[in-house]
Structure 1
Amino acid sequence: MKDPKLGPNVQPHIIQTVVIEDAALDTATPYLHGTRLHVVTATLCLCLFLTNLEIPIVTTSLISIATELGGLDKIYWITTAYMLGYAGVLVLSAKISDIFGRKTCLLVAVGLFVVFSAACGAAQTMEQLIIFRAFQGLGGAGNYSLCTIIVLEMAPPEKYAQYTGGVSVVFVFSLLLGPLFGGAITQHSTWRWIFLLNVPPGVIAAVLLILLLPNNFPHHHKPRDSDGLGVAGSLRKAYVRLDVLGAILLLAATLLLVTALDEANEQYTWRSAFTITLLTVSGVLWVMFVAWERRVTRNTGKMEPVFPWRNAVFLGMIWFVTMFELPQRFEVVNQLSPFHAAIRFIPFTVAAPVGSIVAPTVGKLFKVPLLYLLGIGSLIQVAAYALLGTVSGQHGIPARQYGYQVLAGFGCGINIPLLTLMTPYSTEKRDHAVAMGAIAQFRVMGGCIGLAIVTTIHNSYLRSHLTPFLGADLTGAVLQSTGVIATLPSGTQDLIRGTYAASYDLQLKVLAGLAGGQVLATMAMWQRKPIVV
């Protein structure tokens, strides 16, 4: 019998068929399943591992690189160039992927990373290596940002904690193995393999992504023209959707600040026109960046979300400074080889993945608000770095120092996945890609600034305490190459190493203060209904 509501020429079974087909289309899932899910997840983790490995693996090879290429006074730029390139486009790459698609942008990022890894391995001068490292950082930024986004988009929200924990474990294990790989390669082969080892697995990852990651992911279950701009869309409209000015202001402000801090008390004094100009222009650019972002936010009609980017800045400072300074302390103060220094650093890098696993697991199983766990991790860091700042053993390594490293690593490990896990819960779904990229960008940007700050403190302390005893020329030679120390009388060596130990203690106390900044940033995120997984 016909429904009287239907027109005379419309059959009920036709309407039923249409409804069923529409329902099937609406319930089509964007998530991956089975073998494809596992292989794509493993491939993305491989990309993340290689990208994050590039930051710590170089630290134990800098002296060997400078010995072959020259330019010992520029070795810090080998690391800084990568991190600045990395930090400069993380958010921008996420937004570009919203417009042109995750798969296309990720393949471009993998290609950049592989090509410039090979270029770094073939570099013939220090200047070439620094330039290639910056472009390698651009590819690395796309890898990190897009892989993190895609990992969360492949699975439903109830599995965010599981996948976030997995990504964080990959992150911390890459930082665990980086110094070990760097030390072993430098000792038994050429430093060039530090960069060339990225090429084969990078090519394999690209092939797997081409074959297994769906086209137009994560909108592959929708009609091609139902989401965003198509391939034939206007480039002008795409440009309008990108906050290019904000990205440029952020990168320029960070670059000028880091350059000023790194060069102060080295080639230029604090009172020099060079240093003052860079700091002034950087300050102006920071003000312009904040004002511009405020305008962009107001124009969209949205309030700023409760978003953990401030915590990411402080954590980046603490994490990256620890990763660079503690192994150096073992080498300079305790006279260990790069490889053995990396081994002594294992308590920190093992405790970090443990914290990364425990934090989201506790939050999910016991429904503990993530903000509480974030505060606990920050307080642990305050205590750990304050204690590490009291260890100034010159000839030996006190056993308690390893315990303090475990505490510091565990505290940092807690906060690494929580900042990532809180992001999709504190932003709108359409902003997930940009927000995830922002967390990574602010963390690396914080690392750049933190390294510049402690480098300035370190050099200033050494110059002021060593010059009265050694003179300006010998002090400058010691700061250019720690190998000079071994050529001096034993009494002078003890004086220098003791001064270095006191300088590292001061840096660790600074990190305790930065951990306190995390506590304040966490308090600023307080909500009546905190996020619970």
Structure 2
Amino acid sequence: MLFLTSIDTTIATTSVVAITRDLGGFEMSSWILTSYQLGYVAVIVVFAKFSDILGRKSVFVFCIIMFTAFSAGCAASQTLAQLIIMRAFQGLGGGGCFALSAICLIESVPQSRYADTMAKNGVFIILATVLGPILGGVISEHTTWRWIFIIKYDQPPKPSLFYTFALTTDSSSAPIGLFAIVIALIGIPNGYPHQGRMLQKPIDSKSKRIWAQIDLPGSALLIMATLSFTACFQEADSSGFVFVGAPLAVVYFLLPQRFQLVNGISSLDAGVRVLPFGISSSAGVVLSGRIASKAKVPGIYLVLIGAILQVIGFALLSTLSSSETIEPAIYGYMVLPGLGTGFCYSTMIIMIPFVAKKCDGSVAIGAANQFRTMGGAIGLAITTSIFNGYVASQLSHLGIEISITELTSTAKDTLPEGLQTEIRSVLSDAYNRQMLVLCAFGAAQVPVALFLWKRKQIVTA
């Protein structure tokens, strides 16, 4: 489920152009990713706390069912609005799955193995992030974009929101989520992680104890506050707020679009071109985990190194030209922020059990993942706002009568070659400005990391 929920964060990035060609609304295209992240971020802490009260297994299975059902809804969407709504509910299930997966991983090993375990499992998350754009490109290139949300369905899309799915047979197949439900039901012990322990009170008082522990008004307020705070950035020109989680999600949204709209390559080719960032991110996760566990380097130093690498790499990516030819140097530029993102991503998660009280461990991990996802959503909102504002003003200044949505269609290809060159230059400058914003995000991690400074630094070995 870590893999599935993570791949759904990026699999649509290389399909955005294809989706908006079919459903329209390119100026709202960032909502395809952001709606998923908003749903994701809204419930991570809530589901983490609910699992403390109701049990890991029951909450986990519920989240997988929700994720699977609304994945089917995404595939069947007939308008962009429907897709955005379905993505939001898919994100609710995905956020719960991610939170419970991370909690169960921590609870399954002794503290001395946290760094090594999280590094290994971080590879699955980064691998999903790497494969997402490629799989999305393959699917969009050779069939309908709808297949990115499920394995396949038995008939072409029709004007309805849901289809009937069945487990894999010779004639049909189902979302992988159904397989995950079976694994969860069989593989997770009842009562995990407290299986085998006797109840201290009579069973008939259990339901009363449960409802006494659930803070429904507080949970509702937390969800609404998180959604309101994050969503406002998506709808407004934004500045001032930064979160550590921004670079990973935003890079996978921006670079594939740049390759398609500026360099004119296919969605599949665009996904492949982002591989250096994904591979180096995976390497950063593994390398930082090994350094932390074997060399016993304090986590704060790894975060600072990662932040510096991000600043340098994103600064270099902001210097790309508007040439249709892809500059070879871009692949080297992607490696630096990739390594830096991997360092920061894994180290911050690994440090949580060492700074939080044991009784608050599950909620602390949930909160960290919630802020990480909020960072991605807010970072994407800010960079999208900058892109839309700059492109619209520059096209108007040049007297080019073409909307931002039409930039993804063949309409711009009918313009004179000189105008096409000017449009490409405007788009390139807009993407470069977005990279400068990511530069600022990377730099902001330095003062944030310094809050973890101690006389005796935290070593996660």
Using the size of structure 2 for normalisation, the TM-score is 0.90
Match of 2:120 in 1: 166
- List aligned pairs for 1:467-486, cutoff 5 A: 467-471=396-400, 474-476=401-403, 481-486=408-413
Pair 320,460 (structure 1): closer, same or farther in 2 beyond 3 Å: same
- Kindly state the Cα deviation for residue 227 of structure 1 after the two structures are TM-superposed: 13
Distance 2:59 2:339 in 1: 34
Pair 93,241 (structure 1): closer, same or farther in 2 beyond 3 Å: same
- Kindly state the Cα deviation for residue 419 of structure 1 after the two structures are TM-superposed: 1.0
Match of 2:11 in 1: 57
Alignment counterpart, residue 145 of structure 2, candidates 191, 206, 221: 191
Match of 1:139 in 2: 93
- Kindly state the Cα deviation for residue 510 of structure 1 after the two structures are TM-superposed: 1.5
- Kindly state the Cα deviation for residue 197 of structure 1 after the two structures are TM-superposed: 2.2
- Are 1:86 and 2:40 counterparts? yes
Checking the alignment, whether the CA contact within 8 Å between 2:54 and 2:210 is kept in structure 1 is no
Pair 152,176 (structure 1): closer, same or farther in 2 beyond 3 Å: same
What one-letter code is carried by the residue in structure 2 that aligns with 1:248?
A: M
Unaligned runs of 5+ in 1: 1-46, 263-278, 284-309
Checking the alignment, whether the CA contact within 8 Å between 1:60 and 1:183 is kept in structure 2 is yes
Checking the alignment, whether the CA contact within 8 Å between 1:478 and 1:484 is kept in structure 2 is no
Alignment counterpart, residue 308 of structure 2, candidates 369, 376, 379: 379
Checking the alignment, whether the CA contact within 8 Å between 1:352 and 1:411 is kept in structure 2 is yes
Distance 2:268 2:455 in 1: 49
Pair 229,130 (structure 1): closer, same or farther in 2 beyond 3 Å: farther
- Are 1:222 and 2:217 counterparts? no
Checking the alignment, whether the CA contact within 8 Å between 1:224 and 1:230 is kept in structure 2 is no
Pair 480,238 (structure 1): closer, same or farther in 2 beyond 3 Å: farther
- List aligned pairs for 1:443-454, cutoff 5 A: 443-454=372-383
Distance 1:73 1:387 in 2: 27
- Kindly state the Cα deviation for residue 189 of structure 1 after the two structures are TM-superposed: 1.6
Alignment counterpart, residue 343 of structure 1, candidates 252, 263, 272: 272
Which is greater in Rg? 1
- Kindly state the Cα deviation for residue 220 of structure 1 after the two structures are TM-superposed: 0.7
What one-letter code is carried by the residue in structure 2 that aligns with 1:403?
A: G
Pair 85,477 (structure 1): closer, same or farther in 2 beyond 3 Å: closer
Alignment counterpart, residue 405 of structure 1, candidates 326, 334, 339: 334
Match of 1:254 in 2: 230
Distance 2:75 2:145 in 1: 8
Match of 1:204 in 2: 179
Alignment counterpart, residue 21 of structure 2, candidates 67, 72, 77: 67
Distance 1:378 1:260 in 2: 27
- Give CA-to-partner distance per residue, 1:397-447, whole Å, 9 cap, x none: 222211110111111111111111001111011111111111111111111
> SS at the partner of 2:207?
coil
- Give CA-to-partner distance per residue, 1:227-281, whole Å, 9 cap, x none: 999742345412238842333322222223322349xxxxxxxxxxxxxxxx9xx
Distance 1:193 1:413 in 2: 29
Alignment counterpart, residue 427 of structure 1, candidates 334, 356, 367: 356
What one-letter code is carried by the residue in structure 2 that aligns with 1:168?
A: G
Distance 1:260 1:226 in 2: 52
- Are 1:154 and 2:154 counterparts? no
Pair 500,454 (structure 1): closer, same or farther in 2 beyond 3 Å: same
> SS at the partner of 1:141?
helix
Match of 1:514 in 2: 441
What one-letter code is carried by the residue in structure 2 that aligns with 1:487?
A: T
Checking the alignment, whether the CA contact within 8 Å between 1:95 and 1:434 is kept in structure 2 is yes
- Give CA-to-partner distance per residue, 1:486-531, whole Å, 9 cap, x none: 1111111111111111111111112111111001111222111211
- List aligned pairs for 1:171-182, cutoff 5 A: 171-182=125-136
Alignment counterpart, residue 352 of structure 1, candidates 269, 281, 286: 281
- Are 1:238 and 2:165 counterparts? no
Aligned length: 438
Checking the alignment, whether the CA contact within 8 Å between 1:89 and 1:142 is kept in structure 2 is yes
Pair 516,233 (structure 1): closer, same or farther in 2 beyond 3 Å: same
Q: Which has the higher contact order (CA 8 A, sep 6+)?
A: 2
Pair 228,172 (structure 1): closer, same or farther in 2 beyond 3 Å: farther
Structure 1, 176-185 or 221-230: larger mean CA deviation: 221-230
- List aligned pairs for 1:23-38, cutoff 5 A: none
Checking the alignment, whether the CA contact within 8 Å between 1:95 and 1:242 is kept in structure 2 is no
- Are 1:531 and 2:450 counterparts? no
Checking the alignment, whether the CA contact within 8 Å between 2:41 and 2:226 is kept in structure 1 is no
RMSD between aligned residues: 2.3
- Kindly state the Cα deviation for residue 162 of structure 1 after the two structures are TM-superposed: 1.7
Alignment counterpart, residue 109 of structure 1, candidates 63, 74, 77: 63
Match of 1:437 in 2: 366
Match of 1:96 in 2: 50
Distance 1:412 1:460 in 2: 27
- Are 1:318 and 2:272 counterparts? no
Checking the alignment, whether the CA contact within 8 Å between 1:73 and 1:480 is kept in structure 2 is no
What one-letter code is carried by the residue in structure 1 that aligns with 2:427?
A: Y
What one-letter code is carried by the residue in structure 2 that aligns with 1:529?
A: K
Using the size of structure 1 for normalisation, the TM-score is 0.78
> SS at the partner of 2:236?
helix
> SS at the partner of 2:61?
helix
- Give CA-to-partner distance per residue, 1:319-377, whole Å, 9 cap, x none: 21111111111111111111111111111111000000000101111111011111111
What one-letter code is carried by the residue in structure 2 that aligns with 1:448?
A: A
> SS at the partner of 1:192?
helix
- Give CA-to-partner distance per residue, 1:10-57, whole Å, 9 cap, x none: xxxxxxxxxxxxxxxxxxxxxxxxxxxxxxxxxxxxx11111111111
Distance 1:223 1:347 in 2: 51
> SS at the partner of 2:244?
helix
Pair 364,167 (structure 1): closer, same or farther in 2 beyond 3 Å: same
Pair 477,404 (structure 1): closer, same or farther in 2 beyond 3 Å: closer
Checking the alignment, whether the CA contact within 8 Å between 2:352 and 2:365 is kept in structure 1 is yes
Pair 124,359 (structure 1): closer, same or farther in 2 beyond 3 Å: same
Structure 1, 69-78 or 107-116: larger mean CA deviation: 69-78
What one-letter code is carried by the residue in structure 2 that aligns with 1:224?
A: L
> SS at the partner of 2:208?
coil
Pair 334,480 (structure 1): closer, same or farther in 2 beyond 3 Å: closer
